[in-house]
């Protein structure tokens, strides 16, 4: 398991020490460093790390200010020279609170604690997704629960314009967003009403209610254009099913 992390501290020596400790832990992948709160907010929301090492006192913005401004919710290990903020840190659901100068063994224990929480929470999320997505065999799903960052989003099925396979994953597209689902497209197809969600290619399923037009090519092939402007070729294998909808 690889855990993406950011190191956020206004002191270079402190960042260098954390980096030195982190290099001895193969599970931790440092994807960035920064020294200012404003930089931290931007990097956290853009890079979406699972874990951050966060200083409390920084120029113009404290570590607590950073947590108040971000949308993404990483696990947090505070690192600071001040012990008076510990209660406030744990009120922010911090994994741990390290006092500078940071002892290596104390650092390792904090990382172990963070790793355990991340693994446990990911396992719980996967189990919850599985439970929420289970339907009776005679029913088709009216919604799908998809993980995005640490949140489970409830996606009404009728808002899905098309689904595309991406390796073992699927990409669900609505009018306003795209979602990566860990369920393969064939498994998703079993949850969807085949009268509405038509497979036009082994890697593509479309919502017939969101289909704008069908173009016939000179070679006899078909191309569908969805209401969001996306076009997909129809493979010969699935042309017959689509033609059943034509009058």
Provide the token pair at 19: 């980096």
15 and 51 fall within a common domain: yes
pLDDT at 128: 61
Asked if residues 37 and 62 have their Cβ atoms less than 8 Å apart, the reply is yes
In-domain check, residue 119: yes
52 and 119 fall within a common domain: yes
**Domains in the chain: how many in total?**
2
Question: pLDDT digits over 96-143, tens only?
Answer: 999 999 999 999 999 999 988 887 766 555 666 666 655 444 467 888
Give the global pTM: 0.52
Asked if residues 226 and 205 have their Cβ atoms less than 8 Å apart, the reply is no
For residue 215, what are the domain limits? 143-243
120 and 183 fall within a common domain: no
Question: pLDDT digits over 21-47, tens only?
Answer: 999 999 999 999 999 999 999 999 999
Q: In this structure, what CATH number is given to the domain that contains residue 193?
A: 2.40.50.1020
In-domain check, residue 114: yes
Provide the token pair at 209: 């209610």
Q: DSSP 3-state assignment of 9? A: coil
C-alpha atoms less than 13 angstroms from C-alpha of 153 in its C-beta half-sphere: 15
45 and 86 fall within a common domain: yes
CA distance 63 to 41: 10
pLDDT at 131: 61
The runs of H, that is alpha helices, within 150-243 are 185-191, 236-243
CA distance 82 to 101: 11
In-domain check, residue 61: yes
169 and 225 fall within a common domain: yes
pLDDT at 208: 93
Question: pLDDT digits over 226-235, tens only?
Answer: 999 999 998 8
pLDDT category at 206 given cuts 50, 70, 90 is: very high
Structural domain ending residue among the three candidates 126, 161, 179: 126
82 and 54 fall within a common domain: yes
pLDDT at 138: 45
């Amino acid at each position: 398991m690889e855990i993406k992390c950011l190191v956020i501290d206004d002191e270079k020596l402190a960042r260098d020490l954390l980096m030195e400790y982190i290099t001895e832990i193969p599970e931790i992948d440092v994807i960035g460093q920064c020294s200012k709160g404003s930089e931290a907010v931007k990097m956290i929301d853009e890079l979406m790390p699972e874990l951050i090492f966060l200083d409390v006192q920084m120029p113009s913005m404290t570590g607590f200010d950073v947590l108040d401004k971000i949308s993404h919710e990483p696990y947090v290990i505070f690192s600071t020279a001040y012990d008076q903020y510990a209660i406030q840190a744990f009120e922010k659901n911090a994994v741990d609170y390290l006092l500078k100068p940071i002892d290596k063994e104390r650092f390792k224990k904090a990382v172990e604690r963070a790793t355990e929480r991340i693994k446990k929470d990911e396992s719980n999320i996967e189990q919850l997704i599985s439970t929420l997505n289970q339907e009776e065999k005679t029913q088709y799903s009216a919604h799908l629960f998809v993980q995005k960052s640490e949140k489970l989003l409830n996606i009404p099925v009728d808002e899905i314009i098309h689904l595309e396979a991406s390796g073992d994953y699927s990409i669900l597209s609505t009018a306003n967003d795209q979602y990566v689902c860990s369920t393969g497209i064939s498994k998703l197809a079993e949850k969807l009403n085949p009268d509405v969600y038509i497979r036009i290619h082994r890697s593509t399923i479309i919502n017939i209610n969101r289909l704008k037009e069908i173009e016939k090519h000179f070679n006899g092939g078909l191309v569908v254009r969805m209401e969001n402007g996306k076009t997909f070729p129809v493979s010969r294998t699935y042309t017959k099913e689509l033609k059943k909808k034509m009058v």
